[in-house]
A and B are shown apart, each in its own frame.
Chain A
Amino acid sequence: MDLGNLYQDVILEHNRNPRNWGELPPPNDRADGRNPMCGDEVTVWLKLEGDRVTDISFVGTGCAISKASASMMTQAIKGKTRAEAEAVFEQFHAMVTGHHANPAGDATVGKLKVFAGVARFPARVKCASLAWHAMHEALHQAHSRAS
């Protein structure tokens, strides 16, 4: 697989059929992400039981990169503990900003390695990370509420 290619088939497929699309019923934690450069918006909903993300969903307007990234994020995060989710966020962020030495060999990154090509397109980093920042914010809110 050529990781330099931005529009991997997996990304195009998630763009056409986003997973975990829609609002979660309450109680939940939600956070919004906005990209001031393009006006794109995303909302992420989280349901936590104890320390574990038992459900996650999103709705948004955005490009293929942002939509596919949000979709694959929900798959990667569902079932993870808060600490595990934060670790995936950090590795993903390092990868799309070009600071991950070996995304293909990182089990935490897993399928998300299809976004490695984003690092070559600095203008698109915000697209790829928009939903992730919203998820991060929602996790933070859940944590503050609980503590």
Chain B
Amino acid sequence: MTSVMRDNLAPPPSAPMALDVATIRADFPILSMEVRGKPLVYLDNAATSQKPRAVIDALTQYYERENGNIHRGVHYLSEKATELYDLTREAARRFFNARHAHEMIFTRGATEGINLVASSFGEAFIKAGDEIIVSTMEHHSNIVPWQLLCERTGAVLKVIPVTDAGELDMDGYRALLTERTKLVSVVHISNALGTINPVADIVRLAHEAGAAVLIDGAQSAPHARVDLQAIDCDFFVCSGHKMLGPTGASILYGKEAWLDRMPPWMGGGDMIEHVSFERSTWARLPSKFEAGTPSIGDVVAYRHAFEYLERVGLENIAAHEHDLLAYAVEQVRDIPGLRLVGTAQEKAGVLSFVMDCAHPHDIGTILDGFGVAIRAGHHCAQPLMRRYGLPSTARASFYLYNTREEVDTLVQAIHHVRHVFA
């Protein structure tokens, strides 16, 4: 890879450096393809990111030269695969500044991580009458597992309201916290609005009330520096495929003190210490929560995603996306009949909008004809859509490889939507 912005071990620069986007783009093979006869303009990064050559090559290399099952054999390939698997765990610890590598549990995705906590933490610590707090802007994956837990236990789900601009109502949040609150589970950056939530404050207030906190970092881990010890949350989930990694490998972080006291979620191979028909005992962390053969190849390649993001620098990526967002807002602001959904003060590179003349699905199809990939729909956030009286929105979401020229193409295509429908 050639897109080295700074040495891996150097401290973060105080001011963000402009990205060498042309060099970065050359690292992503898919970005040079054409769609419907037009150069691909990929603006659906909140759904999944594209992959750099280093990650794709790592997958191939793994299956050609390194494939064995982990923690099983004494042969070369098993040892090699085990070593590579654990290297990613340490890379994740460093990336998120967690205290211990064994606090990083590999999951398929953020959804699986939340379900693991809902099941295991829920079984150990949630009983009838307890309260769980989520927010209006949660993804369905941070709503439904808690609803299922509430149905099982008789616990009660409470919801933090959001303002018209798409910010959390922090007074409303404070009012919900009581001695019955056992867990607060909120999103770090909203996938539908782009709002960056004040997670450190959310955690502090919850801890003062005696509640644990899960932060859904599916949209923050790819785009901003996340320091888990500074945020001090009890659990954190991210989504590997949204941060340059392959599908099938993600992280659930949990503080050791919680994970040690929580029962296993899935039972099977690798998560045991000793099995007999009378009684089995569990392996230590992290294996206790990693039953069965995981997506080893995906986990091995995931390390190269962490390393790529570290080399470019999360602060630089955030600044680049902020620039693209500001540029895009400037371009679309005066388009008649277009309204932005989500105008929080603190906002990541998500441009969610609706148009009077066209449904988001129609916008998405017209844009696709220009080679522009966006998301059209409810973004798995139907309660949030209902809050704003909308069935759905169109959403462009930016990443480190996007350019101002691509924003220009997006805007040109939006003008064509008006030409067709208005």
| A-to-B contact residues, CB < 8 Å | 6-7, 12, 15, 37-41, 61-66, 121, 124, 127
Contact = CB atoms under 8 A, between A and B. Distances in A.
A63 B420 contact: no
A64 B377 contact: no
Contacts of A40: 359, 361, 391-392
A39 B361 contact: no
A64 B358 contact: yes
Contact of A61 (B365, B377, B382, B391): B391
A39 B379 CA distance: 10
B300 to A, nearest CB: 33
Interface string B404-422: 0000000000000000110
B385 interface: yes
Contacts of B68: none
B377 A39 contact: yes
A12 B365 contact: no
A12 B361 contact: no
B391 A41 contact: yes
B385 A39 contact: yes
Contacts of A12: 420-421
Interface in B359-385: 359-362, 365-366, 376-378, 382, 385
A7 B368 CA distance: 13
A38 B361 contact: yes
Contact of A124 (B361, B377, B385, B420): B361
Interface of B: 358-362, 365-366, 376-378, 382, 385, 391-392, 420-421
A64 B359 contact: yes
Contacts of A41: 391
A14 to B, nearest CB: 13
Given A38-B392, A39-B382, A40-B391, A127 B377 contact: no
Contacts of B365: 6, 121, 124
A-B pairs with lowest CB-CB distance, top 8: A63-B359, A63-B361, A39-B378, A39-B391, A38-B377, A63-B362, A64-B362, A61-B391
A51 to B, nearest CB: 36
Contacts of B385: 39
B391 A38 contact: yes
B361 A127 contact: yes
B391 to A, nearest CB: 4
A65 B377 contact: no
A66 B392 CA distance: 14
A50 B365 CA distance: 42
Contacts of B358: 63-64
Contacts of A66: 361
Given A37-B377, A39-B382, A40-B359, 10 more contacts: A15-B421, A38-B376, A39-B391, A40-B361, A40-B391, A61-B391, A62-B391, A63-B362, A64-B421, A66-B361
Contacts of B359: 40, 62-64
B303 to A, nearest CB: 34
A65 B420 CA distance: 13
Contact of B392 (A6, A15, A39, A121): A39
B71 to A, nearest CB: 39
Nearest to A67: B359
Nearest to A124: B365
Contacts of B392: 38-40
A6 B359 CA distance: 15
Contacts of A6: 365
A14 B416 CA distance: 20
B381 to A, nearest CB: 10
29 contacts: A6-B365, A7-B362, A7-B420, A12-B420, A15-B421, A38-B360, A38-B376, A38-B377, A38-B391, A39-B377, A39-B382, A39-B391, A39-B392, A40-B359, A40-B392, A41-B391, A61-B391, A62-B359, A62-B361, A62-B391, A63-B358, A63-B359, A63-B362, A64-B359, A64-B421, A121-B365, A124-B361, A124-B365, A127-B361
A71 B299 CA distance: 50
A71 to B, nearest CB: 14
Nearest to A60: B391
A63 B420 CA distance: 13
Nearest to B378: A39
Contacts of B362: 7, 63-65
Nearest to B390: A39
Contacts of A63: 358-362
